Amino acid sequence: MTGIELYDTLTGEVRPLATREPGKVALYACGPTVYDHPHLGHARSALTYDVLRRYLEWRGLDVRHVANITDIDDNIINRARDEGRTESEVAVEWEDVYIDAMARLDVLDPHDRPRATEWVAEMVDFVTRIMAAGAAYTTGTGVYLRVGSVPRYGDLVHRGLDDLRASAGARVEVDEDKEDPLDFALWKAAKPDEPSWPSPWGPGRPGWHIECVAMSLGILGDDFDIHGGGNDLVFPHHTNERAEALAVGRSFARHWVHNAMLNIEGTKMSKSLGNYRTVVEMLDEHPLNGRAFRLLVLQTHYRKTMEVNPELMASARTAVQRLDALARRAKAAGADHDQGTGRRDEAAAGAFRTAMDNDIGTPEAVAVIFDTLHRANAALDGSAEDAPTLVATVVELAGALGVAVDAAEHGAGDGDAVIVGLVSKRQAAREAKDWSAADGLRDELAAMGVVVEDTPAGPIWRRA
């Protein structure tokens, strides 16, 4: 028992996270198929599991975080064909873009980042076992899972087989060779000009969902703790992953976690609506956007659709600056020296923990952080004894959610000497009570994008 409660999609309720091994958490989060720019939805999803992982670690649990990269599928093949390149070239390019974008969002690298193409042998082996179990059959186009043979197939989506059948084929035409419209390909027979791997059923490539089963069970083992992903993956992706594992009698995820989608300007983000936003684009717009977007994600519960628009990004940036401002003035006041020594405000840490233990209540946790920030500022105003502890608590709790607090006055470094010179020149003018000279210098700095703040301990500055 971890004391942490998490919503489980399978049972449809918040329930205690009871891990397979005490003190350890095996987490598998579905990663992207790499053939295009990662968008804000990918970022929200990655952030959700990064925060979950960081919090579990903050609680002292030993987490093994696996996030896959799907580097072979129809989209990649189509893109490669369109661009006259190999599938591998396309996949490598977009995987690099993805990983770089995640790093800029301060998403920790997962402990394992398996690629589908590196696990084909395991997938073939898995399909072989499903065949042996009598839960699959071959047709001219590949190997199919017999969905009807899997007990409680629709449990994850909370729908019965007949109900699912009734809407099957609503969007995609049904393959007549299949025994049941719900059956899906475990292995696809090779078509001309497509990459393929040898198999007992002839050359082909992995079918649907099989890569995640092979990799999650292969790396984390049976009965691993948490399987996560966007809630659009509940069906068919996760439902079918689960079916594949169940077909060979293996116990799959103990807990299913799904994050909600994201809207832009009130409507869903989609390419056709023209409101499709990429992570790189968002990050390039403002140096604070990485942290601001994370804060925005944290301010909405992970199971609720979140809103993103320029105004909200701006307000999140302002909030991030308040965090930095606290650190800066604490540093100027010499009140930050005990950071990392373990001293913290236990009332705040306790409230934070209570919020997070309750199904990862990040909005409330963020509220605790800002309440503490408020107390820290007040303590700093009155030079109260506990100011350093409160400041350290803010930094620690924000850090537990992956929000870095930056006390540095210096930006990139370029031009710092000039800025420092102007700041001290202005201070000299102020001491001489030459206000017009001082204000002129402040305007000059402002034109350079630098804001000066006068504190009892002397002037400090930051980039706007």
Q: Which of residues 169-208 bind RNA (CB under 7 A)?
A: 169-172, 174, 181-184, 208
278 is a contact residue toward RNA (CB under 7 A) = no
**Interior angle at CA 400, CA 394 and CA 401, nearest 5:** 100
The CB-of-18 to RNA minimum distance in angstroms stands at 21
The CB-of-175 to RNA minimum distance in angstroms stands at 8
The CB-of-386 to RNA minimum distance in angstroms stands at 14
303 is a contact residue toward RNA (CB under 7 A) = yes
Q: How far apart are CA 278 and CA 316, in angstroms?
A: 18
Give the nearer residue to RNA in terms of CB position, either 1 or 464. 464
422 is a contact residue toward RNA (CB under 7 A) = no
58 is a contact residue toward RNA (CB under 7 A) = no
- Per-residue buried b or exposed e for 45-62, using 16+ beta carbons within 10 Å of the residue's own CB: bbbbbbbbbbbbebbebe
The CB-of-292 to RNA minimum distance in angstroms stands at 9
String marking each residue 76-95 x if it binds RNA according to CB under 7 A: --------------------
The CB-of-43 to RNA minimum distance in angstroms stands at 8
Q: How far apart are CA 406 and CA 199, in angstroms?
A: 54
8 Å CB contact between 387 and 335 = yes
For CA atoms 88, 258, 12, 158, give the dihedral sign: negative
Give the nearer residue to RNA in terms of CB position, either 20 or 113. 113
Q: How far apart are CA 22 and CA 1, in angstroms?
A: 7
281 is a contact residue toward RNA (CB under 7 A) = no
Residue 117, both tokens: 């193409």
> According to CB under 7 A, which one of 78, 86, 251, 318 is a site residue for RNA?
318
> According to CB under 7 A, which one of 163, 179, 222, 443 is a site residue for RNA?
163
> According to CB under 7 A, which one of 4, 44, 246, 400 is a site residue for RNA?
44
50 is a contact residue toward RNA (CB under 7 A) = no
Residue 410, both tokens: 């210096």
234 is a contact residue toward RNA (CB under 7 A) = yes
Site stretch for RNA (CB under 7 A), options 59-67, 127-135, 161-169, 193-201: 161-169
> According to CB under 7 A, which one of 4, 316, 348, 390 is a site residue for RNA?
316
**Contacts to RNA from residues 93-132, by CB under 7 A:** none
32 is a contact residue toward RNA (CB under 7 A) = yes
The CB-of-271 to RNA minimum distance in angstroms stands at 10
Give the nearer residue to RNA in terms of CB position, either 271 or 342. 271
**Residue whose structure tokens are 């103990």:** 254
73 is a contact residue toward RNA (CB under 7 A) = yes
Site stretch for RNA (CB under 7 A), options 19-27, 68-76, 105-113, 243-251: 68-76
The CB-of-231 to RNA minimum distance in angstroms stands at 5
**Contacts to RNA from residues 356-395, by CB under 7 A:** 358, 361, 363-364, 366-367, 370-371, 373-374, 377-378, 380-381
Amino acid at 305: T
